Structure 1
Amino acid sequence: MFDYRLKVFYKVASRLSFTKASEELNISQPAVTKHIKEIENTLNTKLFNRKGTSIQLTESGKILYGYAEKIRNIYRDMEFEINQINQQHKGKLIIGASTTIAQYILPEILAKFHSYYKDIKIELFTHNTEIISSLLKKGKIDLGIVEGESQSSYFEYKAFRADEIVLVSKVDHPLARKTLQLTDLYEIDLIFREQGSGSLEFVQNRLRDKGIQIENLHTVMQIGSSESIKNYLLHSESMAFLSISTVLQELKNNLLTVVDIKNFNIERNFHFILPKGEQSELIRLFLKFISYN
């Protein structure tokens, strides 16, 4: 019920990207622009300012964003409370999620879901993308949420949310405030995620696209946990490629910093992976709920 134009604006404002909004909404970028223009014409105001390749909310945009979030939450609460009265949802949903998603994104969503549907039991398995895909193929989980780039013909994939992988170091690293060239990576001690990690796959592919072979870099070690990598960085001169979702608290507390690499960024989408064919009622309910969060 959330007005579609307002939904488009909310996505663009949340991601500060017309491209990411179009991908998540599964519509063309010109269609996104059209919806934004219609709102601007209706309100007789400008909602976004462009700065190079990036956009920022205007003062009017910030006001609308605040109200759009309130309206979105009201619609969500209304819809799910009525749905609760009309249907008694019970059962068990087994979810498998990549480590980054399970640790930094899902807990808040699962807590909200439980507050609405107390009779639905959730089990969450956490592992890397490769193993989550294997568990789904074997029928040991109902759906997966992964960060990997590879896709299999066994599954249906739906975009969950946008993410970015960034190069991170401790704040007092000698190179922390410099803009690096890609070739500078050959001179840096690097920590990577373990084999089978979706994040590692993205980093490896994007570096290869730019002519950088990851096997030629100075890899100090591979670690199977973003938390362990972050703690390692705090006590070393190494750097690591990590999801921005994993380092928000450390950036806020000025413990870690993002190191800029000239003309290089790694943007991606997290995805739901589902068995092909008709989905169960519980899966449909969960996907609908998560689309609001």
Structure 2
Amino acid sequence: MSDFRLTVFHTVAKRLSFSKAAEELYISQPAITKHVRELEQQYNNKLFERKGNKIELTLAGETLLNHTEIILNMYRSMDFDMNSLLQKHKGLLNLGASTTISQYIIAPILAGFKRKFNEIELKLLTGNTEQIESALIDKEIELGIVEGRSKNQEISYTDFIKDEIVLVCHKNHPLAKTSEIDPSALPSYQFIIREQGSGTRQVVDHSLKTIGLRTADLPIEIQLGNTESIKSYLMHSSAIAFLSIHSISQELLNGELRIIEIKGLSITRNFYLIHLQGNQNPIVNKMMRFAMLHYNL
């Protein structure tokens, strides 16, 4: 029911590309250009400026984008509420999940939600915690599940499930037969670490400080951008790494990886459901209730 020109404009504004918008919306690039020009004529303002091979929003474009996001969200909410009267559940939910959650936690939630609400379309963006929070602030997603919590006042955090981060090594590592090591021994081993902005990295950095260590004190063999890469590297290396317990259940069961206990150190955290403060999106609320129920059965 919404003005399709606003959908076109919103897609171009978020992608800053006419060609990418055309690809995403399955229409031609000339059609994209036509819709944008009609809006520019309607408001007697230029919405985009070309900078070399790139485009940027003008002040008028930024203003229209702010209003467009509010309008499109209202249309989604209206569609959901009206369909609910007919006992139907339709709409689109743009989700974001940090890497560990995307790989090991969210799949059964999404599958269960789709079985119950088949006509709600789901789209999932994956990135580290920092990237997912940025996507939420930029309104590229409406709901995120992340591994850490920042101090951003625009974001509302809801405790989701507990996680434990453990130190692991390959089964053939010298530490594999050791039940516990002293924190002072950690700088004696090579480490694989996650990138800055990763929720796991943030929690590990903070926890090491409680035992008088910094990540900078540890010999870093390599930095990798996701858990699967770290697990694969561990299989061919004498390095060790901090990983979520949720991510290594199969490897522990198969005996490929072993947990190394650190005396006096337990690293636990919450995973969080996040949305913008003042959220009134009924589909977001429905997904949050469903996700919480799924992990409390």
The two structures share one fold, judged by TM-score above 0.5: yes
- Number of residues of Structure 1 aligned to a counterpart in Structure 2: 211
Structure 1 CA distance, aligned partners of 2:279 and 2:149? 24
- Aligned-pair CA distance for 1:150: 2.4
Match of 1:123 in 2: 123
- Which consecutive unaligned segments of at least 5 residues does structure 1 have? 1-83
Match of 2:217 in 1: 216
Greater Rg over alpha carbons, structure: 2
Is this contact kept in 2: 1:149–1:202, CA < 8 A? no
Percent identical = 42
Matches within 5 A, 1:117-156: 117-156=117-156
Is this contact kept in 1: 2:97–2:145, CA < 8 A? yes
- Aligned-pair CA distance for 1:177: 2.1
- Aligned-pair CA distance for 1:86: 6.6
Letter matched to residue 208 of structure 1: K
Cα deviation per residue 1:194-242 (whole Å; 9 max; x = unaligned)?
Answer: 1110000000000012210111210111100101100111111100000
Structure 2 CA distance, aligned partners of 1:181 and 1:230? 23
- SS of the residue 2:262 aligns to: coil
Match of 1:202 in 2: 203
Cα deviation per residue 1:82-109 (whole Å; 9 max; x = unaligned)?
Answer: xx89721100000011000011000111
Letter matched to residue 195 of structure 2: E
Match of 2:106 in 1: 106
- SS of the residue 1:175 aligns to: helix
- Aligned-pair CA distance for 1:185: 0.8
- Aligned-pair CA distance for 1:281: 0.8
Structure 1 CA distance, aligned partners of 2:174 and 2:197? 31
Structure 2 CA distance, aligned partners of 1:86 and 1:255? 52
Match of 1:233 in 2: 234
Match of 1:71 in 2: none
Structure 2 CA distance, aligned partners of 1:86 and 1:176? 59
Cα deviation per residue 1:145-184 (whole Å; 9 max; x = unaligned)?
Answer: 1002423111110011000000000112111221111111
- SS of the residue 1:136 aligns to: helix
Match of 1:249 in 2: 250
- TM-score w.r.t. length of structure 1: 0.70
Matches within 5 A, 1:271-282: 271-282=272-283
- SS of the residue 2:166 aligns to: strand
- SS of the residue 2:175 aligns to: coil
